Structure 1
Amino acid sequence: MTISNGAMLLVKFTSFICGGVAVGVSPTHKLVDLPSLVTLFQTWTKFSLGDNEPVVPELFLGANLLPPKPDLPNMSASINIKAEKFSMKRFVFTAAKLAELKVRVDPEFGQAKNMGEFKPSVMFQAVNLRQRMSPPLPETAMGNFIWPFMVVVEEEKDMELVQLVIQMRKSFNHFCNNDANMFKGKDGTIKILEKLKERGEFFKKTGDMSVYKCSSWCKLPLYDTEFGWGKVLWHVSINKIVSNTVALMDTRSRNEIEVILTLDEEEMRILETNQELLEYATINPSIKFFSSTTQSKL
């Protein structure tokens, strides 16, 4: 799908000789986030099936919650990670392998194996603010209700699997308890600008760090989408713009995880030959095989 700087929403329909079809959807993040897109798909599904009670999006809740201000400074919330050449790979974790990984998050488990030269890193994990505000917002609220929290790793010892999980949980709980509810009302815009300034000061202070961005599509009803030709067999996020991104999503079985990862080409070559990772994940499995094996578990 060609990227357009002017379009708010791009939709591309592709039909294949085999009879299958693909629908590509590309909205601007300035207007919507993934839960908003899910609401669009739910409405689309209702109309496709002739349902007289479609899902009704909450179109104006965002403007009422955070009134627009025309005199805002030109500041961007985007975190772009530049790389001359990067690649994208799919890693699929079955339910059994996910269970094994959860067992490994145990204080008695040893340190993670070194995969190369260590470099201080920070990961930004996107959070859906709707259910974390007080009072909670409906999932049908249209807009970009996403904000990331940071997980910082400054020393190599902090790369231990258990420590990473503990640090991520602490950062997530701190964000939900202290920050998630501040992005609204008359002072909401000021709080957003303060957080962006804090982020900028953090990078000035820390200097050169590896930056990663993670978002989760898990538990969203994307596989319930129905355009009129049967339910979706497979959905995927395509990123050809920035590197160091991680997108987590369910498979059709709802109990497996598919990871879409972008990394510098050399880093990806190191990662995809890591035997410890290969014990748990299948890299770029065939879509046909992937769909058929998942269907058998439904």
Structure 2
Amino acid sequence: MEKDIEVEIVARETIKPSSPTPHHLRTHKLSFRDQVSPFRYVSVAFFYVANTIAAKTDEKYEGMVIFSQRLKVSLSETLTHFYPLAGRLRDNLLVNCNDEGVDFLEARVINYSLSDILERPKTEGIGPLCPIKPIDYYKAPLLLVQVNFFRCSGVVISLTISHKIADGVTFAAFMKAWSDMALGSPCTVVPDFSAASSRFPPRENIPIGSYTINETSQKIVRNRFVVDASKIADLKAKVASANVPQPTRVEAVTALVWKCAVAASKSRSRSRFGGSPRPYALMGAVNMRSRLVPPLPKYCFGNVTGMFWAMLDKDDHESQATDDLPSLVYQLRKRIEESSKGNKMGLNGDDMELYSQTSWCGFPIYQVDFGLGKPTWVSIVGKGGPIGIVLMDTRDGEGVEILLILFEEAMALCEADQELLAFASPNPSVLSKN
């Protein structure tokens, strides 16, 4: 991908719930966890190569119209069940479930075939395939959809969703429900809206979370790496220890990538700034639905997450950890377990280099079938920071795809890190495994 993707927006529509939201459901209170979530939108793109849209030129337009209509009807039906998504935020306290609806855009891709994009995919370059992220968080839709049609009959369905009211689990549940509706299948997703009333009641005057980057003058870049299923077992064996004899693939990959990122940052700091490097912290989200006692429903709507913190080079001996992989995995395991207990660590963000960690592994995103078959590739789309690691399943559900976000100089060092490259391939073709 050497040039920007060009798209032409050919239609724009507002999709509302198929049935009006009942009066007694017109106010959806944000939970405390929603309130402290940042005002930001997350974009995710689903790429479909094999599909049932007619390939012949004289039939293609009709096929696109029929497919778009199916998406819009099923989206409307799905919004009836996920009705807060069709509302508008108010005062960081609630969603006014007024059925104003969500944006639905149809676009034609002018200058690329889908295979061109998937041969050497770059998440920073596919932004035009996604709806533009709103900046007026209170007046804008909480969900925007863009359906992109390619000349080769490929399709990319992208969604931009407000993180203020939805975490990754909520997003995946919505996508499963929508694809079930589009296929005419029985929908097994029943969203639960009890988080605010049962566990995390909202509070007045809550400061809104934000992502800040201390070194704003430094360019931040994103690169994709893939750990194939064939390498996962070897990596797990390398990071296993008596403390964690059976590490998960997420723990193993996180430890590997974070170790390499910190090593790159230390080298960069010595050459650029001199002196001693700051401590390094890794902050990640943990799905709390099944960890709470008693647990919340699987499809509990909203941000139902706890946070874990892992540290390197912290001054106090109790929190200090070495950077060998088994020790990192052990620390990750401990910190994730502590997140269930609500334990917190006192951290000063000005005195450390902070990395975020997000894992979508295990989410059924590759089961989203709108009648086009399963997606060939699914990717989170964006530019810039915060610096950190995003993990997703590969299409077979066994490997791990890494989106690494670092300062440009540190990224160049990571790209040459032999320990990372022993397990992770830099930006391989999506098509080679399908």
Aligned to 2:364: 221
The equivalent residue for 2:303 is: 144
2:213 aligned to 81, 86, 111, which one? 81
TM-score of the pair, normalised by structure 1: 0.81
Deviation of 1:77 after TM superposition, in Å, equals: 3.1
How far apart, in 1, do the equivalents of 2:396 and 2:195 lie?
A: 33
The partner residue of 1:41 within 167, 175, 178 is 175
Any conservation in 1 of the 2:285–2:307 contact (CA below 8 Å)?
yes
User: Gaps (5+ residues) in structure 2?
Assistant: 1-130, 243-258, 271-276, 315-319
Q: Retained in 1: the 8 A contact 2:312–2:322?
A: yes
Residues 202-281 of structure 1 aligned to structure 2 (within 5 Å)? 202-203=347-348, 207-281=350-424
Matches within 5 A, 1:1-298: 1-5=131-135, 6-51=140-185, 53-66=186-199, 68-69=201-202, 72-81=204-213, 83-84=216-217, 85-106=219-240, 115=264, 116=267, 117=270, 118-154=277-313, 158-176=322-340, 178-179=341-342, 202-203=347-348, 207-289=350-432, 293=433, 295=434
Secondary structure of 1:30's counterpart equals: coil
Residue 377 of structure 2 aligns to a residue whose secondary structure is coil
CA distance in 2, matches of 1:276, 1:240: 26
Once the two structures are TM-superposed, the CA of residue 241 in structure 1 deviates from its matched residue by 4.3
State how far apart, in whole Å, the 1-side matches of 2:223 and 2:428 are: 10
Distance 1:134 1:157, change over 3 A: closer
Distance in 2 (CA, whole Å) between partners of 1:93 and 1:231 is: 21
TM-score by length of structure 2 reads 0.57
Tell which deviates more after alignment, 121-130 or 235-244: 235-244
Work out whether residues 243 and 264 of structure 1, in 8 Å CA contact, stay in contact via their aligned partners in 2: no
CA contact under 8 A between 1:57 and 1:142: conserved in structure 2?
no
Instruction: Tell me: CA distance 1:241–1:274, structure 2 relative to 1, closer, same or farther (3 Å).
Output: closer
| Aligned alpha-carbon RMSD (Å) | 2.4
Q: Percent identity?
A: 31
Aligned position for 2:38: none
Distance 1:157 1:75 in 2: 32
Per the alignment, do residues 160 and 216 of structure 1 end up closer, same or farther by CA in structure 2, a change over 3 Å counting?
A: same
Please list every run of 5 or more consecutive structure 1 residues that lacks an aligned counterpart in the other structure: 181-194
Task: Sort the Cα spacing of 1:42 and 1:166 in 2 relative to 1 into closer, same or farther, 3 A.
Answer: same
| CA deviation map 1:182-222 (0-9, x unaligned) | xxxxxxxxxxxxx6xx75xx217xx4211000011111111
Decide whether aligned partners of structure 1 residues 96 and 230 sit closer, same or farther in structure 2, where only a CA change above 3 A counts: closer
Residue 74 of structure 1: how far off its partner (Å) = 3.8
| CA distance in structure 1 between the aligned counterparts of 2:157 and 2:313, rounded to whole angstroms | 42
Post-superposition offset of 1:128? 0.5
